[in-house]
Amino acid sequence: MSLFETFIMLSALTQLLVFQLVGEVVARWLALPVPGPVLGMLFLFVALALRGGPGQELQATSQNLLQHLSLLFVPAGAGIMVHLHRVADEWLPLLLSLLISTAATLVVTALVMKLLMPARAAPEETP
């Protein structure tokens, strides 16, 4: 990776982190019950929608981050291992919340997909 490519990637990462920081500041300043990174993603979405989409630099950096997404789960896995006794103590509420949230996600996704898909005409029967 050349120095120029590294600079481009760092500028795109900085752009992502600035939106996360702005979201965090707004969430804390207004005492909102929404996590700052979620607000930051919303602000990023609005900015990209107004700009007409991401630039090539942001797109390439995002693809690189997605290719290595599994590395971002390592800290969460380590945290679960540290608090494994709590998981063992509270396995039923955890299991129920996972099952209910998964079912709710599937239902909402199906409804949104059904709502957004164009209506198809019923196929005509041929004799």
Residue 124 lies in a domain: no
CA-wise closest residue to 11 among 45, 70, 56, 72: 56
Would the pTM of this model clear 0.95, i.e. be above it?
Answer: no
pLDDT in tens, 41-93: 999 999 999 999 888 888 988 898 889 888 888 888 888 889 899 989 999 99
The residue range of the domain holding 93 is: 73-117
| Total count of domains within the chain | 2
CA dist., res. 96 & res. 52, Å (int): 41
Rounded Cα–Cα distance for residues 91 and 93 (Å)? 6
Q: Considering only CA atoms, which of 46, 41, 56, 50 is closest in space to residue 8? A: 56
Cα dihedral angle (92, 93, 96, 100), rounded to 10 degrees? -170
Does 5 share its domain with 59?
yes
